[in-house]
Structure 1
């Protein structure tokens, strides 16, 4: 995985926010947004409403990206079995 972070600026709950993630995580989040037929900022804002205040947004987004990939992988596995 790439060691450098890519920072993006978003508006969440009416506030400017910057999030720094590895490009690979941004790619997964973009895939998630496309899968949900919504722009990336809308997806991130929606996910942010589910985040616990003690958890950083970057950490939360990484976990959500991982969970989505696991769900995609499981779905592909069940499709292959049928």
Structure 2
């Protein structure tokens, strides 16, 4: 399980009318899916929100930071 957790999984999404590929570790895809579901969004819609807010950072990195911030906030801590 630990070795698989570090493996990247690439998925294709359409964001702002453009097809793109995003590579994330499976635990991040799972957490992103749970966060999207909790907000009543598709993963694609949540990634589009993250994309609009990311500034110039890498999209995969922005997604990881978003997931981390969401879980840290749920724990009542600050990043």
Give the TM-score of the pair, scaled to structure 2: 0.87
Corresponding residue pairs, total? 74
**Poorly superposed stretches of 4+, deviation over 6 Å:** none
Measure, in 2, the Cα distance between the counterparts of 1:42 and 1:16.
Answer: 13
Structure showing greater radius of gyration is: 1
Match for residue 36 of structure 2 among 28, 33, 36 = 33
Unmatched 5+ stretches in structure 2: none
Find the residue that maps to 2:75 and give its secondary structure: helix
Measure, in 1, the Cα distance between the counterparts of 2:73 and 2:46.
Answer: 17
Measure, in 1, the Cα distance between the counterparts of 2:40 and 2:6.
Answer: 30
Shift of the alpha carbon at 1:40?
0.7
RMSD: 1.3
